[in-house]
């Protein structure tokens, strides 16, 4: 068992320092905290697990983030989290797309992974999106046609939002809408950004198949605004089976669950 280095802070001091760090940065990395405290990464990981069990922080891939309902890490920070899981989800979601399909794809790190996987599959499809990373990725794929929604640019999400965005989306009928979310509870998907929730709803209104892409770390997380009810969704693509209560609610709402590791 690794011993605490001489002069390193005790557990209570580390917990306080982690919470203080999250007051100024919505996400922190285990490696950075371990170096700062002079302890092993495993020690910091246990600290984060204890704080997560108390509901004070949210465990993430390689670190921790705040649990405030109205705040989440920005796009760049989320890109560094749960990379393997999101890549698996993206590949599984891309496998659902039939040649010639017309898709709406909202902004987010997981949906961007989906677009990357779709481009790699070489499927002919049309994408309608408000996500600039999705536009950049799809724009390099010869068989993907891209329509970009107008709106006001929001740098933290690298996306376009607003009344013009929603009005543009409502002009089209599509085969499938792929959206992400900040969290998922038995009441439905939730998001920390109201502007994002409004765009997601506009996309869901235009598609008969409505797919939520969500990593398992977001199960049970309730953020500022509920996007829609579970029954609005037709599919959930994730990296691990949801907990029993959420699985039961999804099954009752007739939402098909696709676990990426099983695909």
Q: Are residues 51 and 22 in the same domain?
A: yes
Write out the DSSP string of 69-111: TT----HHHHHTSSHHHHHHHHHHHHTTPPTTEEEEE-SSHHH
Compute mean pLDDT per 10 residues along the chain, 263 residues long, and list them.
59 82 73 90 89 71 66 53 79 97 96 96 96 95 96 91 97 97 94 93 98 90 91 96 94 97 60
Q: Are residues 61 and 107 in the same domain?
A: no
- The CATH code of the domain that includes 172 is 3.40.50.1360
| Paired tokens of 154 | 């929001």
Is residue 72 assigned to a domain?
A: no
Q: Which of 67, 87, 108 lies at the terminal end of a domain, its last residue? A: 67
Q: Are residues 60 and 82 in the same domain?
A: no
Greatest pairwise CA separation for the chain in angstroms: 65
Give the pLDDT of residue 1.
Answer: 41
Give the pLDDT of residue 133.
Answer: 95
Is residue 2 assigned to a domain?
A: no
Number of compact structural domains in the chain: 2
Instruction: Determine contact, residues 135/107, Cβ cutoff 8 Å.
Output: no
Q: Are residues 63 and 183 in the same domain?
A: no
Q: Taken in order 33, 77, 69, 91, is the CA torsion positive or negative?
A: negative
Alpha-carbon gap, residue 109 to 166, rounded angstroms: 20
Domain assignment of residue 20, given as a range: 11-67
Give the pLDDT of residue 4.
Answer: 46
- The CATH code of the domain that includes 52 is 1.10.10.10
Q: Are residues 62 and 83 in the same domain?
A: no
Alpha-carbon gap, residue 123 to 129, rounded angstroms: 17
Q: Which of 67, 90, 109 lies at the terminal end of a domain, its last residue? A: 67
Q: Are residues 58 and 178 in the same domain?
A: no
Is residue 104 assigned to a domain?
A: yes
Alpha-carbon gap, residue 26 to 220, rounded angstroms: 19
Helix, strand, coil percentages in the chain from 3-state DSSP, rounded to 5: 40, 25, 35
Q: Are residues 131 and 185 in the same domain?
A: yes
What 3-state DSSP class applies to 44? Answer: helix
Give the pLDDT of residue 21.
Answer: 76
Neighbours of 12 (CB within 10 A): 9
The pTM (predicted TM-score) of the whole model is 0.73
Alpha-carbon gap, residue 43 to 46, rounded angstroms: 5
Q: Are residues 194 and 234 in the same domain?
A: yes
Give the pLDDT of residue 211.
Answer: 98
Q: Are residues 122 and 221 in the same domain?
A: yes
Q: Are residues 63 and 110 in the same domain?
A: no
Q: Are residues 57 and 84 in the same domain?
A: no
Alpha-carbon gap, residue 106 to 104, rounded angstroms: 7
Q: Are residues 29 and 50 in the same domain?
A: yes
| Paired tokens of 208 | 């008969």
């Amino acid at each position: 068992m690794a011993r605490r280095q001489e002069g390193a802070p005790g557990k209570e001091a580390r917990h306080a320092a982690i919470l203080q760090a999250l007051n100024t940065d919505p996400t922190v990395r285990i490696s950075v905290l371990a170096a700062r405290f002079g302890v092993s990464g495993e020690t910091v990981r246990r600290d984060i697990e204890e704080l997560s069990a108390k509901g004070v922080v949210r465990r993430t891939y390689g670190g921790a983030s705040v649990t405030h309902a109205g705040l989440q890490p920005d796009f760049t920070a989320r890109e560094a989290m749960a990379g393997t899981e999101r890549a698996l989800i993206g590949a599984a979601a891309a496998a659902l797309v039939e040649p010639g399909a017309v898709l709406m794809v909202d902004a987010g790190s997981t949906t961007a992974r989906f677009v990357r996987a779709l481009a790699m599959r070489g499927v002919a499809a049309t994408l309608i999106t408000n996500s600039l990373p999705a536009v950049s990725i799809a724009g390099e794929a010869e068989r993907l046609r891209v329509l970009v929604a107008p709106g006001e640019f929001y740098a933290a999400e690298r996306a376009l939002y607003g009344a013009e965005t929603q009005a543009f989306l409502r002009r089209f009928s599509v085969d499938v809408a792929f959206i992400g979310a900040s969290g998922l509870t038995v009441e439905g998907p939730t998001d920390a950004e109201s502007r994002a929730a409004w765009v997601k709803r506009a996309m869901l209104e235009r598609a008969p198949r409505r797919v939520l892409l969500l990593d398992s770390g977001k199960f049970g997380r309730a953020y500022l605004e509920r996007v829609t009810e579970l029954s609005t969704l037709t599919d959930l693509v994730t990296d691990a089976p949801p907990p029993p209560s959420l699985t039961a609610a999804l099954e009752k709402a007739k939402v098909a669950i696709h676990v990426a590791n099983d695909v």
